[in-house]
Amino acid sequence: MAKKLVIVEDEEFLLDMYKLKFEAEGYQVSTANNGEDGLKTALEVVPDLVLLDLVMPKMDGYEVLRSLRANEKTAHIKIYLLSNLGQSGEIDRGKKEGADGYFVKSSLTPTQLAEEVRKILG
pLDDT digits (tens, 9 = 90+) for 35-64: 999 999 999 999 999 999 988 888 999 999
| pLDDT at position 41 | 97
Q: How confident is the model at residue 106 (pLDDT cuts 50, 70, 90)?
A: confident
pLDDT at 30 over 90: yes
Average pLDDT of the segment spanning 92-101: 89
Alpha-carbon span 69 to 77, nearest angstrom: 8
pLDDT at 92 over 90: no
Average pLDDT along the chain? 92
Alpha-carbon span 50 to 70, nearest angstrom: 15
Which CATH class for the 4-121 domain? alpha beta
- Please return the burial class of 25, using the count of CB atoms within 10 Å of its CB with bins 0-12, 13-18 and 19+: middle
